């Protein structure tokens, strides 16, 4: 294992965070083969805030209000939302999300994150999933952070097709195409 220069490490750190701004100090330390303390010092030197501050900053910059669901009905923490365009949410796999014997996440948590994000980006009073074509690409383990990105790929009348890709680090773990049907609330009262 060869050590890289501080300058090269800073480049690697910046590149990693540009690819995934939700990496923890531990994740960055593993990628750079240094201690967590070294990463913290590097972040301070480069003016990069800690993970919580990065998440908070992103949420403040890019966030439309969810119309189709109550915010607490979205599974995961929404960190970016542009109605009828795109959205991003993050969940960390906790003990209550995994099978006890192998510490692998139950699939319905990844589906719930993707499905609720797909519905949340629809700019309508009511949006319902009509169908979903999903693939689980690899098991997700306890402690991993799942970053789901959603974007609208087609919109025709009341039907919207949304592509969802969930990644852990830079690796895709889940993919889905959700067909969502949307109605305005006044249609429901008739």
Sign of the alpha-carbon torsion through 142, 147, 153, 157? positive
Which pLDDT band holds residue 188 (cuts at 50, 70, 90)? very low
Of 115, 120, 110, residue with least CA distance to 80:
120
121 and 38 part of one domain: no
Which of 25-34, 35-44, 89-98 has the highest average model confidence (pLDDT)?
A: 89-98
User: Residues 145, 90: contact at Cβ < 8 Å?
Assistant: yes
**Full-model pTM:** 0.69
In the chain, alpha helices (H): 6-19, 25-32, 36-46, 51-61, 107-120, 185-188
How many whole angstroms separate alpha carbon 135 and alpha carbon 113?
14
53 and 135 part of one domain: no
Residue 1 inside a domain? The answer is: no
46 and 66 part of one domain: no
Residue 157 inside a domain? The answer is: yes
State the CATH number of the domain containing residue 49. 1.10.10.10
User: Residues 112, 75: contact at Cβ < 8 Å?
Assistant: yes
- For residue 112, the enclosing domain spans 62-188
Which range (49-63, 114-128, 162-176) has the least confidence? 49-63
State the CATH number of the domain containing residue 139. 3.10.129.10
Which of 49-53, 60-64, 144-148 has the highest average model confidence (pLDDT)?
A: 144-148
Q: How many CB atoms lie within 10 A of CB 37?
A: 10
Which pLDDT band holds residue 13 (cuts at 50, 70, 90)? confident
Using the structure block, give the residue that is written with the tokens 């009828």. 84
Using the structure block, give the residue that is written with the tokens 């305005």. 184
């Amino acid at each position: 294992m060869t050590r890289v220069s501080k300058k090269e490490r800073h480049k690697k750190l910046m590149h990693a965070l540009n690819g995934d701004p939700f990496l923890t100090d531990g994740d960055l330390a593993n990628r750079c083969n240094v201690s967590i303390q070294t990463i913290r010092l590097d972040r301070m030197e480069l003016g990069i805030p800690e993970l919580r501050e990065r998440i908070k900053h992103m949420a403040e910059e890019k966030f439309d209000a969810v119309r189709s669901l109550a915010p607490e009905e979205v599974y995961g923490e929404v960190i970016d939302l542009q109605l009828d365009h795109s959205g991003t949410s993050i969940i960390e796999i906790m003990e209550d999300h995994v099978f006890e014997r192998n510490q692998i996440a139950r699939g319905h948590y990844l589906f719930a994150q993707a499905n609720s994000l797909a519905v949340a980006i629809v700019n309508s009073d009511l949006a319902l999933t009509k169908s979903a074509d999903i693939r689980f690409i690899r098991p997700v383990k306890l402690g991993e952070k799942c970053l789901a990105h959603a974007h609208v790929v087609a919109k025709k009348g009341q039907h919207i097709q949304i592509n969802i890709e969930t990644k852990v680090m830079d690796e895709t773990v889940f993919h889905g195409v959700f067909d969502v049907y949307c109605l305005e609330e006044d249609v429901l009262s008739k």
